[in-house]
Amino acid sequence: MRKIPVFIIFISISFIVSAAGTTKNQDTKTFRISKNLSIFNSVFRELDAFYVDTLNYDKMNTIAINEMLSRLDPYTVYIPEKETDNLKFMTTGEYAGIGALITKNGKEIYVSEPYEGMPAQRNDVRAGDVILEVDGKSVTGLSVSEVSAKLKGTPNTTIRLKIKRLGTNKLIEKEFLREKIQVNPITYSALVAPKTGFVQLTDFTDKSAAELKIAISELIKKHQIESLIIDIRNNGGGLIDEAVKIVGYFVPKGSEVVQTKGKSKFTERTYKTPTEPLFPNLNLAILVNRSSASASEILAGAIQDLDRGIIIGERTFGKGLVQNIRPLGYGGNLKVTTAKYYIPSGRCIQAIDYSHRNEDGSVGRVPDSLTTEFSTRNGRKVRDGGGIVPDVKTTDERKLNIAFYIYAQNLYFDFANQYVANHQSIAKPVDFKLDDDDFITFKNFLKEKKFTYTTESEKMYKEFLELANSEGIEKYADAELKALEAKLKPDIDQNINFNKNDIVELLSLEIIKRYYFQKGEIEYSLKADVDLKTAIEKLNDKSQYDNLLSVKK
């Protein structure tokens, strides 16, 4: 008889044992899932049968799902059927409605920002208008989301609004058609210096790359730009494919931009630039801040790792997780984290490890001391685990001062309503300036509104004082504690004057939006933009630009 080699027998046995182990593990996993679902089902049925009060089944189930998912990470969420319109808007930037943002101020629902050129603005619905009725039904007592749902609907259906406007005694009625609203991810583009273009990209929906290509091409055609600044500050991300296409405008076809890796094979994918570069010779600067996340970080990180441009601003958010939408029964969807992504140097910039929580359930950022060093294509040193660190760091010098407490109470918004009622027009954003009389008028307005505020320091002091009293410290430190309390209590008049510049800036932005909409707001804010000025300086000095992309010796 022919003998079977020993090593073949060994391999066969190993395979059988391995397969048996895999099957056993799968059976255990299936049993545990079935067991826990059975327990949940039993609890639900017992509550229904014996709980003293009537149960709201849908609400209880939603709470249970949301609480379970909240223990994983902030991005894994359940999206019920009634919120599928929001899901479409996240991925396409499209919805059907009137094209305006609304907010609640006190008990009333206000139009806070109509989009230029969209149905609300074209039909003279203005920021500051109070919405009283939608399609003949009062909105009193409704939430912002409930009123928003009423404003949305099928394209080309009639909407009727009854609104109240400051300075007009008679109620105003409007009737026009809802339309398909496409929010352009390019909110502003312009020549900001000789041969230097600027484009602000606010998200990564399915048309972001195409719109960016149009904006850049127009800047080249009109102004023959040689340098480009892409602003992705406060851009929370979106579709990976769009970020990859944009990177492809600047680097050779087939360049690796990002890899995704998870526990399932279907999550493992390598994204490469799909086309030849459209703008291979443009000098490039990317503006980022702490709110630049996800696809924004893929764009900035790939440009940095490939040494294709310079990154300017603050360290980015640090979201290195990928989500997919999984359809569920009854029209719902699960947005679930399926993988981590890795940019060209091989680093993952995820800043928070949600898989290792503290005993109280909290999570913290990965400390810099535990991050790993990687290299860009040119050999520059970069690190993982904490967002994208810019090549040129800038900091926001503004503090949490009275200007922001005024903003939190919607008082810039309220004053702008009065200002517009008394000013038919204003200067262009680049020329607009509030004078001293306007500032005095605003100060008087704050007094009329009886504006006051409690600082975070005061709140913490009160907590400290309670603890001090419980330990008896006030007995021998009473004078010092009262002195500290007096110093923490804000002097409103003094603080208003001391922080005049910040107050004037925020007030000016609110007023400018009423006349020149989003573009005017951006144009005004860019006048004193430190990041923009830094980018222009670096791009216009070839030695500085080249030095930032070279390995330091």
Q: In the chain, pLDDT over 90 holds for what percent of residues?
A: 72
34 or 462: which leads in pLDDT: 34
Enumerate helices (H) and strands (E) in the chain, giving the number of each. 17, 21
> What pLDDT, on the 0 to 100 scale, is given for residue 489?
80
CA–CA separation, 302 and 295 (whole Å): 10
Q: Can you give 269-327 as a three-state secondary structure string?
A: EEEECCCCCCCCCCEEEEEECCCCCCHHHHHHHHHHHCCCCEEEECCCCCCCEEEEEEE
CA dist 68 → 41, 71, 180 (Å): 15, 6, 36
* pLDDT average, residue stretch 60-66: 92
The tens digit of pLDDT for each residue in 148-199 reads 999 998 899 999 999 999 988 899 999 999 999 888 999 999 999 999 999 9
Does pLDDT of 84 surpass 90? no
Q: In CATH terms, is domain 94-182 a member of 2.30.42.10?
A: yes
Confidence band for 402, pLDDT divided at 50, 70 and 90: very high
To which CATH superfamily is domain 186-396 assigned?
2-enoyl-CoA Hydratase; Chain A, domain 1 (3.90.226.10)
Judged against a pLDDT cut of 90, whether residue 366 lies above it is answered with no
Contact 151, 174 (CB under 8 A): no
> How much is the pLDDT for 93?
74
Mean pLDDT of 291-312: 97
Domains 94-182 and 186-396 share a fold: no
Q: What is the pLDDT of residue 15?
A: 52
What is the residue type of 80? P
Looking at residue 14, its pLDDT comes to: 52
| Model pLDDT, residue 22 | 60
Q: What pLDDT is recorded for position 429?
A: 95
By the 10 Å C-beta count (0-12 exposed, 13-18 middle, 19+ buried), 317 is classed as buried
Q: Give the pLDDT score at 335.
A: 93
Question: What residue type is assigned to position 36 of the chain?
Answer: N
HSE, CB side, 13 Å, CA atoms: give it for residue 120.
Answer: 27
Nearest to 406 by CA among 417, 419, 415, 418: 415
* Closest by Cα among 440, 442, 452 to 417: 442
Cβ-based neighbour number of residue 267 at 10 Å: 15
Mean pLDDT of 270-289: 96
Contact predicate 239/204, CB 8 Å: yes
Q: Are 508 and 432 in contact (CB under 8 A)?
A: yes
Whole-angstrom distance, CA of residue 287 vs CA of residue 533: 11
* pLDDT confidence band for 1 (50 / 70 / 90): very low
The string of pLDDT tens digits covering residues 413-461 is 999 999 999 999 999 999 999 999 999 999 999 999 999 988 888 888 8
Residues involved in catalysis: 294, 305, 319
Average pLDDT over residues 27-51: 91
Could you state, in order of their start, the residue ranges of all structural domains in the chain?
A: 28-70, 94-182, 186-396, 402-453+490-535, 456-488
**Least reliable range by pLDDT among 62-71, 204-213, 357-366:** 357-366
* Opening angle at CA 17, ends 14 and 19, nearest 5: 105
The band of 551, judged by pLDDT with boundaries at 50, 70 and 90, is confident
Q: Residue 472: which pLDDT band, with cuts at 50, 70 and 90? A: confident
Query: Does 2 have pLDDT greater than 60?
Result: no
Report the percent of the chain where pLDDT is more than 70.
95
Q: What is the pLDDT of residue 24?
A: 67
Phi, psi (rounded to 5 degrees) for 405: -70, -35
Position 379, amino acid: G
Using the Cα atoms of residue 114, residue 118, residue 121 and residue 125 in order, give the sign of their dihedral.
negative
Spatial separation of the C-alpha atoms in residues 106 and 492, rounded to whole Å: 23
Query: Residue 18 above 90 pLDDT?
Result: no
Judge if pTM exceeds 0.85. yes
